[in-house]
Structure 1
Amino acid sequence: MATPDFIIDLREKIGTMPLWLSGVTACVHRETDAGTEWLLARRADNGSWTPVTGIIDPGEHPGDAALREVAEAADVVAEIERLVWVDVTDVVTYANGDQTQYINFTFRCRYVSGEPAPADGENTEVGFFPEDALPAVEGRHAAVLAAAIRNKPECGLGPLPS
């Protein structure tokens, strides 16, 4: 799914002004005989590898949004293990000039079923990668994935560690 209708409606009223939104990141792992693998998606807009991300719909619980995004983006069913990080992104300026900033909830999720495939058109590739052979993941996506991999019992808050 591309831009949600509620954002398009808001943009008609506010133009490109900064918009505060809620987002989720789902770091999905599965255990195999060879070790732990992590689900990553190659974004269609910039070609970068990231965990699954998305926007929380109005009234939607962040955990439900994370699982919905995994199903929509990767055609995979997962379950939440726990919240691993809450942070605020830098302001994002899109090619059309729209500005957005997100409060983001990152969840560590466990794979349940499904064959990964780019299901919604927002990604060109989706797959599981061995923890010791991940493709390059950059910036905040690398930091939240590292937090999910570390799997400390407490939820991290605030700026992401480098």
Structure 2
Amino acid sequence: MPTPDFVLDLRRKVGTAPLPLVGVTAVVLRDGKVLLGRRSDNGHLTPVTGIVDPGEQPADAAVRETLEEAGVACRVERLAWVHQLPRVVYPHGDQVDYLDLVFRCTWLSGEPRPVDGEMTEVGWYDLDALPELELPDMYRRIALARTEGPAHFEGGR
């Protein structure tokens, strides 16, 4: 997956030190199904995820990433979950602390297909018979996006 230019610029200054970044997860729903794609970097089946660009609204990032990665136009309905992911250390040594914002989104148009190379396959999966997801917290992201009510916030004790 291509690393955003702003992250490359930061890496030139901080090396592999931990970077705090805001990420989004777009849980796109349509007629009892959820949009999932197989990531090209690690082969995991997940909803659409991505990094918020500087100055970009997080909900806009979720919509942008869904269109860029899966060719699907969607509308954000609500924020479902705010949580800090455990530190990620990439094979080349870069460290990232992602604050992930999970959004429930509704399909507007487009049939899923890999668009920008970040996913190798994309499709609709039945919410009541989800396939095995390699990252266990993806089940929670999907479950919280399906619920009604206010967003869930981790911590705050």
TM-score (norm 2): 0.94
* Deviation of 1:146 (Å): 1.4
Residue of structure 2 in register with 1:131 after alignment: 127
The aligned residue for residue 154 of structure 2 is 158
- Aligned residue runs from structure 1 range 65-144, under 5 A: 65-137=61-133, 138-144=135-141
Alignment partner, residue 62 of structure 1: 58
Structure 2 residue matching 1:100: 3-state secondary structure: strand
Match of 1:148 among 108, 127, 145: 145
In structure 2, give the amino acid aligned to 1:139: P
Shift of 1:92: 0.3
What are the ranges of 5 or more consecutive residues in structure 2 without an aligned counterpart? none
Identity of matched residues, %: 51
Structure 2 residue aligned with 1:22:
22
Q: Which amino acid aligns with 1:146?
A: A
CA RMSD of aligned residues (A): 1.1
Ranges of 4+ aligned residues in structure 1 off by more than 6 Å: none
What is the rounded CA distance, in whole Å, between the counterparts of 1:132 and 1:104 in structure 2?
24
Q: C-alpha separation between the residues in 1 aligned to 2:58 and 2:105? A: 13
1:106-140 superposed Cα distances (whole Å, 9 cap, x missing partner): 00000000010011111111111111222212322
Q: Give, in whole Å, the separation in 1 of the partners of 2:71 and 2:131.
A: 20
Aligned to 1:4: 4
Unaligned ranges ≥5, structure 1? none
Deviations along 1:38-67, one digit per CA (max 9) or x if unpaired, are: 000111111111110000000000000000
How many residues align structurally? 154
**Separation in 2, partners of 1:140, 1:38:** 15
TM-score normalised by structure 1 residue count:
0.92
C-alpha distance in 1 between matches for 2:131 and 2:2: 25
Please list the CA deviations of residues 53-93 of structure 1 after superposition, one character each: whole Å capped at 9, or x if unmatched.
00000000000000000000100000011110011110001
1:43 to 14, 17, 39: 39
